[in-house]
Amino acid sequence: MTANLAVESALKTDLESATSQERVAWAADMFGDDLIMTTSFGTHSAVMLHLVTSVVPDIPVVFIDTGYLFPETYRFGAELTERLNLNLKKYHARISAAEQEALHGRLWDAGADGLKQYNVMNKVEPMARAVRELGAKAWLAGLRRSQGESRSSRPIVESQNQMTKVYPILDLDNRTMHEYLTDNDLPYHPLWDVGYVSLGDWHSTSKLEAGMTETDTRFGGAKRECGLHEASGNVDFQI
């Protein structure tokens, strides 16, 4: 099924009023073995991982490792991988973080163009490779509308460069996420307790301080998205 036909089917099914579990089940029925999910092992990632694997236990879980994640993120990821028996598929840039800095410097500090190059090298290209190697046609991601303006008007299902993107927890707020974690005895990311509400690379993530929005905690507030979830048409997963 093409991405556009999947979006049309989603509209007919009225996934907007469906539960998160029903959205996952719809995607699994629609795409079968062509379905993957992604995780960043971020603050609330245990919700999405538990939710999806309770419906599709052996789904490939793609983890993009930039080499610049917090130590706590790697430990949290290892804990959840073992606890939930994840079918983890780790992808990273073709050259190491050390080699990147030697050749290009600190790209994340080199303005908009440098940051774009950094994101393509460390996030977009590895994800494109994952899509190709796993033969994926659809992708479950844990975006939520409450996380920032760039996500506030997303539909439950959308087409992005011939991929179907499905967001099962798009309409869940922080309270509902907390209740899910509590009800299922699942952990937050350990840095949540010290003020981090959104987690990415250590060099581009800050704590939530007074007067800041969640968007302000990523890339110094310059942008919310890292490249994987840009508006349709801006990211090429055929790289």
Residues catalogued as catalytic: 226
Check: CB of residue 139 under 8 Å from CB of residue 36.
Answer: yes
Q: In what order do the strands lie in the sheet with 87-91?
A: 87-91, 60-64, 35-39, 138-140, 163-166, 157-160
Check: CB of residue 51 under 8 Å from CB of residue 169.
Answer: yes
Residue length, the chain? 239
Check: CB of residue 51 under 8 Å from CB of residue 21.
Answer: yes
Q: In the chain, what is the greatest distance between 2 CA atoms, to the nearest angstrom?
A: 52
Sign (positive/negative) of CA torsion 126, 91, 192, 45? positive
The Cα–Cα gap between 74 and 93 comes to 17
Q: Which of 146, 143, 157 has the alpha carbon at shortest distance from 18?
A: 157
The Cα–Cα gap between 196 and 187 comes to 14
The beta-strand segments (E) located in 19-174 are 35-39, 60-64, 87-91, 138-140, 157-160, 163-166
